[in-house]
Amino acid sequence: MPSIMRSGNEIRFDDARILHELLDAAGVENTFRVYEGAFHTFQLTPCPEAFASIHELGKFLKA
């Protein structure tokens, strides 16, 4: 099952990166995108990075 992860340089970054690497190693289709300077839950704020992240997530869910 495909997976998508989004992260800023924040508290859960290392966890997300490790999960991405483990999924890759297991042959699982996954996408990991880092939004530089973004904080945890940045998608809840009205900023361009949040809008881009939500738009990409919508495209992923429709696929």
The domain locations on the chain are: 3-62
φ, ψ of residue 14 in degrees (nearest 5): -60, -40
Contact 35, 8 (CB under 8 A): yes
Residue 26 in this model has a pLDDT that exceeds 90: yes
Mean pLDDT of 45-59: 92
How far is the CA of 59 from the CAs of 4, 10, 52, 53, 56, in angstroms? 11, 25, 11, 10, 5
Q: For position 60, what pLDDT does the model report?
A: 92
- Name the average pLDDT for the chain: 91
The tens digit of pLDDT for each residue in 37-50 reads 888 888 999 989 89
Residue 10 in this model has a pLDDT that exceeds 90: no
